[in-house]
């Protein structure tokens, strides 16, 4: 027995030595050469464009590589060769990662093929393909399923450039024992960043009264509060007209891959002409619950226009029912993670507002060195138990377009990340083939239809994986519960400084905009003390309340979307804040002063007309104030007027001048509590009198007296004898 063991060891050593000696030179890429060549490169020379994700006994292997001359000199014609090690089996995650990062020396003696590469000018790129048929010697020499080292070497001008990736062989056609497939749940959020705010729609909303929709008695304000704001012409926030139809390529992907679990923003579904079928709902507008909980002030968000009833699970279901036109429809709700971690406060808020499960990033996952397990935690909060569905870190990062490491250069392209995804998932199954697990893979908000299709096709082609749904994942035996789960909960939200600063500034700006609208309602609109029909204004107090509520709902709609967890468009939250400020500006400027002409005084007193315009469909009651910058020319200070709906009202100010000169009158509008609003007007006043009225009379009287005295003296003076 000992003799046979020694012989076996010697045979293995001899086999490895022969492999090292006999291996073609291009199968090795000297690390010193690679470092020297890449040290001066600003772009990657080799990039994986296409690759067969799962290799079977009949598939063969297809690969496309894009080669770019990153040098300042022309490269002569070269050759790209592709090799694998058909006998090698990765033994650890570290082993795989070091191969991907070119940090270990695994031989690759089995050649799949090679192809000539033309000469390349500086900056020029070319794409070459290698196609190995199913009967290729390197492929048929693979005896075990799983990931194998794949090495592409580009030889040119006495230099070799390598690219390391993985070829994953399935068990099809191999004499290998079949093991249970590992469960995997592929989740993609469905939302949109193509929301827009129309200045014309906001202006029309302020200038026009509320009308019923299609004779059904429902007003547009009612529609806004019930979720219809995405579908009517008076909507504050609408989808871009090019995106109201669900993307056809994405629709095809969802139809083709029924195992893909789509968690949708119900406000997006409600704005589509024909919403797709989805697996579950997230919170409306993907509202960031983690940031809300980290702020810790419900009142601050309420002041900004975000009420809890706008983003809870009930609101999500209501929006969904409106979207599909079925008031009895039911569907699960899952809260999506925002910019912060799911702290205990955040989980409590989610559970309190009706969500029994949340999607989490890898906050709850054990360290990367542990064996992967089902990523679910059942956490007990003050509001009840909540299930935290934790994404698997490496697989989710790859699906979201991130390489496992900056040094893993093959993963800079989607084809390279897909190859690593398939290889990594196969390794996870091989790691513990008989342990039941269900891994969550999160595509994130930025995945497009092509990415979803590629990864889902790879999962469905991998016999070691079994795609499941959210219900199966939620029902799986959790990784932790009770005290163990609470120990996994992050203590801090860890929201970035920039995100925290934006949230604070957004709350301040939105609170100011909402405060202006409420101020307009309470202190500028004419008080309506009755609920009866107003003949003068052809309206009722109910109409008045519905109109202002529509404006407040519009502000709330923009405020809710300003705090979205959807990070696919960083400019969207700012656009929503700007839209809310724009709306409040339109409201406050709907009562405005019309430009006044200059006033010229030809006497000690005069009047100055001032006209106030009302663009809204309801009367306003305001105070007009006036003051001059001169002590010689003064105006009366204030007058209160009522301006009818869609009309103008003129009032006058008394002017008095003590002497000739000029002045500027500053005219402003004030609400009923004396706070100014709107744009101030300035009117020039000129006084051209040399003297005042009373002085003139005195001078005239003195002239008459002097004239009479002169005449009397003329007739009564004694003549000189010499005359």
State pLDDT tens for residues 289-330: 999 999 988 999 999 999 999 999 999 999 999 999 999 999
The mean per-residue pLDDT over the stretch 648-665 comes to: 89
610 domain residue, yes or no:
yes
Query: Are 520 and 601 found together in one domain?
Result: no
Query: Are 506 and 491 found together in one domain?
Result: no
Predicted pLDDT at 658 = 81
Query: Are 313 and 390 found together in one domain?
Result: yes
CATH code of 328's domain: 3.20.20
Lowest mean pLDDT among 210-224, 362-376, 383-397, 672-686: 210-224
CATH code of 645's domain: 2.60.40.1710
708 domain residue, yes or no:
no
Query: Are 636 and 572 found together in one domain?
Result: no
70 domain residue, yes or no:
yes
CA atoms of 666 and 606, how far apart (whole Å): 17
Predicted pLDDT at 702 = 82
Query: Are 510 and 565 found together in one domain?
Result: yes
DSSP symbol at 382 = T
Q: pLDDT grade, residue 202 (50/70/90)?
A: very high
8 pLDDT above the threshold of 70: no
Predicted pLDDT at 720 = 63
Q: Kindly give, in sequence order, each residue whose CB lies less than 8 Å from that of residue 560, ignoring residues fewer than 6 positions away.
A: 284, 285, 287, 305, 306, 310, 311
Predicted pLDDT at 213 = 54
10 domain residue, yes or no:
no
In sequence order, the β-bridge partners of residue 668 are: 625
Task: Choose one of 495, 519, 549: the last residue of a domain.
Answer: 495
441 domain residue, yes or no:
yes
In sequence order, the β-bridge partners of residue 564 are: 287
Percentage of the chain lying above the pLDDT 70 cut:
86
Summary mean pLDDT of the chain: 87
Q: For 109, list phi and psi in degrees, rounded to 5.
A: -85, -15
CB-CB contact of 486 with 344 (8 Å): yes
Predicted pLDDT at 30 = 32
State pLDDT tens for residues 122-139: 999 999 999 999 999 999
Query: Are 557 and 464 found together in one domain?
Result: no
Query: Are 259 and 403 found together in one domain?
Result: yes
Query: Are 148 and 247 found together in one domain?
Result: no
Percentage of the chain lying above the pLDDT 90 cut:
72
State pLDDT tens for residues 399-409: 999 999 999 99
Predicted pLDDT at 690 = 56
CA atoms of 117 and 78, how far apart (whole Å): 5
The mean per-residue pLDDT over the stretch 681-699 comes to: 74
Query: Are 390 and 467 found together in one domain?
Result: yes
Query: Are 415 and 269 found together in one domain?
Result: yes
State pLDDT tens for residues 245-280: 999 999 999 999 999 999 999 999 999 999 999 999
CA distances from 421 to 95, 540, 591, 659 (A): 15, 64, 61, 89
Query: Are 53 and 101 found together in one domain?
Result: yes
- pTM for this entry: 0.84
704 domain residue, yes or no:
no
Q: For 100, list phi and psi in degrees, rounded to 5.
A: -60, -30
Predicted pLDDT at 695 = 64
Predicted pLDDT at 221 = 42
Side-chain-side CA neighbours of residue 554 (13 Å): 36
718 domain residue, yes or no:
no
Predicted pLDDT at 1 = 42
233 pLDDT above the threshold of 50: no
State pLDDT tens for residues 537-595: 444 457 889 999 999 999 999 999 999 999 888 899 999 999 999 999 999 999 999 98
The mean per-residue pLDDT over the stretch 149-177 comes to: 95
Note the Cα 335 to chain centre separation in Å: 16
Query: Of the ranges 327-336, 488-497, 520-529, which is most confident?
Result: 327-336
Query: Are 521 and 480 found together in one domain?
Result: no
Predicted pLDDT at 712 = 77
The mean per-residue pLDDT over the stretch 646-657 comes to: 92
Lowest mean pLDDT among 433-442, 651-660, 689-698: 689-698
Q: pLDDT grade, residue 222 (50/70/90)?
A: very low
Q: pLDDT grade, residue 212 (50/70/90)?
A: low
Structurally, the chain folds into a number of domains equal to: 4
264 domain residue, yes or no:
yes
CATH code of 112's domain: 2.60.40.10
**Domain ranges, residue 299:** 186-194+240-495
More confident residue, 696 or 664: 664
């Amino acid at each position: 027995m000992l003799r046979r063991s020694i012989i076996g060891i010697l045979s293995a050593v001899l086999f490895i030595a022969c492999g090292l000696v006999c291996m073609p030179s291009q199968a090795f890429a000297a690390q010193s050469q690679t470092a020297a060549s890449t040290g001066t490169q600003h772009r990657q020379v080799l990039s994986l464009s296409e690759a067969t994700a799962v290799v079977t006994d009949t598939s063969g292997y297809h690969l496309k590589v894009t080669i770019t001359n990153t040098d300042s000199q022309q490269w002569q014609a070269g050759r790209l060769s592709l090799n694998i090690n058909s006998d090698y089996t990765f033994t650890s995650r570290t082993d795989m990662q070091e191969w991907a990062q070119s940090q270990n020396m695994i031989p690759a003696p089995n050649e799949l093929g090679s192809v000539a590469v033309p000469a390349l000018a500086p900056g020029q790129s070319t794409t070459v393909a290698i196609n190995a048929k199913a009967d290729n010697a390197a492929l048929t020499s693979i005896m075990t399923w799983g990931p194998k080292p794949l090495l592409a070497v580009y030889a040119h001008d006495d230099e070799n450039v390598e690219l390391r990736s993985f070829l994953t062989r399935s068990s099809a056609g191999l004499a290998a024992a079949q093991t249970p497939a590992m469960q995997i749940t592929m989740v993609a959020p469905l939302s949109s960043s193509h929301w827009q705010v129309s200045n014309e729609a906001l202006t029309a909303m302020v200038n026009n009264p509320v009308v019923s929709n299609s004779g059904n008695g429902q007003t547009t304000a009612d529609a806004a509060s019930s979720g219809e704001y995405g579908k009517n012409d008076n909507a504050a926030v609408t989808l871009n007209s090019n995106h109201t139809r669900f993307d056809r390529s994405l629709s095809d992907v969802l139809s083709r891959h029924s195992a893909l679990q789509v968690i949708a923003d119900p406000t997006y579904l409600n704005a589509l002409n024909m919403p797709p079928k989805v697996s579950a709902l997230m919170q409306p507008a993907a509202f960031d619950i983690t940031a809300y909980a980290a702020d810790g002030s419900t009142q601050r968000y309420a002041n900004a226009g975000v009420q809890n009833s706008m983003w809870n699970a009930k609101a999500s279901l209501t929006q969904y029912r409106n979207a599909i036109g079925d008031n009895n429809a039911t569907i699960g709700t899952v809260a999506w993670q925002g910019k912060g971690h799911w702290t205990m406060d955040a989980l409590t808020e989610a559970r309190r507002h009706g969500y029994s499960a949340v999607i989490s990033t890898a906050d709850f996952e054990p360290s990367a060195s542990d064996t992967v397990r089902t990523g679910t935690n059942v956490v007990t909060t003050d509001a009840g138990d909540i299930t935290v569905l934790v994404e698997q870190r490496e697989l989710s990062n790859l699906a979201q377009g991130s390489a496992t490491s900056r040094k893993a250069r093959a993963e800079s392209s989607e084809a390279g990340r897909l190859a690593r995804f398939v290889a990594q998932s196969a390794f996870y199954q091989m790691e513990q083939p008989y342990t039941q697990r269900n891994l969550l893979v999160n595509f994130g908000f930025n995945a497009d239809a092509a990415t979803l299709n590629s990864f889902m096709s790879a999962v469905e082609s991998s016999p070691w994986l079994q795609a499941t749904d959210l219900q199966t994942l939620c029902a799986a035996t959790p990784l932790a519960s009770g005290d163990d789960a609470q120990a996994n909960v992050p203590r801090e939200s860890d929201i970035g400084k920039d995100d925290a600063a934006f949230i604070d500034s957004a709350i301040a700006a939105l609170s100011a905009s909402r405060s202006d609208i409420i101020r307009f309602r309470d202190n500028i609109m004419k008080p309506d003390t009755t609920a009866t029909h107003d003949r003068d204004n052809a309206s009722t107090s109910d109409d008045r309340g519905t109109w202002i509520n529509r404006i407040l709902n519009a502000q709330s709609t923009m405020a809710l979307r300003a705090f979205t967890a959807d990070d696919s468009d960083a400019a969207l939250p700012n656009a929503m804040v700007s839209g809310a400020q724009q709306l409040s500006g339109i409201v406050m400027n709907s009562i405005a002063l019309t430009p006044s002409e200059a006033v010229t005084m030809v006497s000690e007193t005069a009047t100055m007309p001032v006209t106030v315009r009302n663009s809204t469909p309801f009367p306003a009651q305001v105070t007009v104030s006036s003051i001059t910058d001169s002590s010689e020319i003064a105006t009366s200070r204030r007058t209160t007027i009522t301006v009818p709906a869609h009309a103008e009202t003129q009032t006058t100010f008394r002017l008095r001048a003590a002497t000739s000169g000029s002045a500027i009158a500053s005219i402003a509008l004030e609400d009923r509590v004396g706070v100014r609003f709107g744009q101030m007007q300035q009117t020039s006043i000129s006084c051209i009198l040399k003297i005042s009225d009373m002085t003139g009379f005195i001078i005239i009287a003195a002239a008459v007296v002097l004239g009479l005295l002169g005449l009397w003296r003329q007739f009564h003076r004694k003549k000189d004898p010499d005359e």
